[in-house]
Amino acid sequence: MERYAPSKIDLASRDVVSRSMAIEIREGRGCGPKKDHVYLELHHLPREELEKKLAGIMETARTFAGVDLTKEPIPVCPTVHYNMGGIPTLWTGEVVYPRDGDDNTIVPGLLAAGEAACASVHGANRLGANSLLDIIVFGRSCANTVIFNLNKEGTSQPELPARAGEESVATMDRIMHNNGDIPMAALRAKMKDSMQANASVFRDHEDFKHVQVHDKSRIWNQNLTETLEFRNLLVNSLLTVKSALERKESRGAHSREDFKERDDINWMKHTMAWFNESGEVDLTYREVHSWTLTNDVKPIPPQDRVY
């Protein structure tokens, strides 16, 4: 870490540490047969201190990596810790669907909060502990919206159609009984390697047509559950990669080697991405909420994180 954050070293922020790990791996200094990870050494610390302060990490390393961290280094690699995007919402928790030139067109009766939502408070790099603050503040805001707004408005939803849910059941059956020849785990590993390398484009869903679900039971079918989750991961991979390719700058956790500087003139905005019925990703953009809801607190402009 001396190479990347000489003053903070191991105490640098998570995005800096993750980016440093990724650079080491990409430049061929990774570890293991695939050279796809680095080692985290803790065995120079006394066993008593590790057991007292890092008991959970000791258990995780032993369970998932077969490593005794009092004697061996832990294999680690960068991964997704938190999604700073999400369903676009107002501070009230009400979901918005930008259209006809209005970024804040409300979807009646639909609310979201926490990591699933984007209320435009985290920017491109959430600060530590703000995820808990996020769900407390906006969870309460959603409750207030339901109590003081929606109940008074008497908002009602249309009746469900007679065949509601049948399409979802048919999709599940189609996947379960698909005549494929590639286990889901193999396809998921391929997607993981592709995204882990440098978020390279997973161009289409052709591979999913070959997916094979071994377990045909309808009780506690983990194989089917993981296959359905994998399908969602494919969609999210496409949305992530397309959004990142179009954003020609580096900002917070979004880092590009070909566009290393932040560009507030052209890219101070949220990316809005949809996966349409033809299998393409549609993009539009939404204004960043850079103002506060009170005169007691002034807006804080973006700043570079430097060491």
Residue 188 CB partners (closer than 8 Å, separation 6+) = 226, 230, 233
Say whether pLDDT at 113 is over 90. Answer: yes
Asked if pLDDT for residue 200 goes beyond 70, the answer is: no
Instruction: State how far the Cα of 25 lies from the Cα of 128, in Å rounded to an integer.
Output: 25
Please identify which residue in the block is written with the tokens 């397309």. 242
Catalytic residues: 14
Band (208; pLDDT cuts 50, 70, 90): low
Proportion of the chain above pLDDT 90, given as a percent: 33
Q: Which of 36-40, 121-125, 159-163, 303-307 has the lowest mean pLDDT?
A: 303-307
218 with 175: CB under 8 angstroms? Answer: no
Report pLDDT for 266. Answer: 96
Distance CA 300, CA 55 (A): 38
Residue 114's CB: how many other CB atoms inside 10 A?
A: 17
Beta bridge partners of 88: 118
> Best-predicted range by mean pLDDT among 23-27, 38-42, 198-202?
38-42
Mean pLDDT of the chain: 85
Task: Say if residues 75 and 31 touch (Cβ distance below 8 Å).
Answer: yes
Q: How many whole angstroms separate alpha carbon 97 and alpha carbon 272?
A: 10
What confidence tier does 155 reach under pLDDT thresholds 50, 70, 90?
Answer: low
What backbone torsions phi and psi does residue 272 show, to the nearest 5 degrees?
-110, 120
Task: List residues bridging with 74 in a β-sheet.
Answer: 40
> Which two three-digit tokens encode residue 307?
């060491």
